[in-house]
Amino acid sequence: MASLCGRVAVSSVRKNVLCTSYRFASKVTMGDPIEHATGLEKRELLAKAAGNENPFDLKVIKRGPGTKAQPNEIPSAFDARLVGCVCEEDSTSVNWMWLHKGQARRCECGHWFNLVHKAPV
């Protein structure tokens, strides 16, 4: 048992000393920041590197004609999205409503909205 503990201690010390001395011997970086990231953080960084500054579609969308034939298209990767319509330019409040996939919806001010599927980044 004592020799086992001794071996574990010696090997871990040797590993750490060698590893540290290697790191200090040459110019060592933490690697490429995009390679360093993972998961959603990496997907966001890759989207931005590809020129997409709005990967989660959170910025305000300027309203188009918004008629029944040409509704405002709201991107979403989900089945529904909360949409806030600024009905008039000087409006002091935002009118919120749930917009579901496949069901175009009209705001009380008359503008139409439609949910369009957008693949996740």
Partner 1 sequence: MSNKNHPYHLVDASPWPILASLSALILMSGIIKWFHFYNHSLLMIGFTSMLLIMFQWWRDISREATLQGLHTYTVTMGMRWGMILFITSEVFFFISFFWSFFHNSLAPAIELGMNWPPKGIMTFNPIQIPLLNTLILLTSGITVTWAHHSLMENNYKQSTQGLMMTVILGLYFSLLQGYEYFESSFSISDAAYGSSFFVATGFHGIHVIIGTTFLAVCMARHMKNHFSQIHHFGFEAAAWYWHFVDVVWLFLYISIYWWGS
**41 or 68: whose CB is closer to partner 1?**
41
Question: What residues are paired with 34 via a beta bridge?
Answer: none
Of 31, 49, 62, 102, the one binding partner 1 (CB under 8 A) is 31
SS3 of residue 76 by DSSP? strand
Task: Give the residue from 99, 93, 96 showing the smallest Cα distance to 114.
Answer: 99
Task: Give the residue from 41, 15, 64, 59 showing the smallest Cα distance to 121.
Answer: 41
Residue 27 found at the interface with partner 1 (CB under 8 A): yes
Task: Report the nearest approach of partner 1 to the CB of residue 110 (Å).
Answer: 29
DSSP 61: P
Residue 51 found at the interface with partner 1 (CB under 8 A): no
CA atoms within 13 A on the CB side of 121: 19
In the chain, the amino acid numbered 30 is: M
Binding mask 71-100 for partner 1 (x = CB under 8 A): -----xxx----------------------
Residue 9 found at the interface with partner 1 (CB under 8 A): no
Residues that bind partner 1 (CB under 8 A): 23-24, 27-31, 33, 36-42, 44, 55-58, 76-78, 118, 120-121
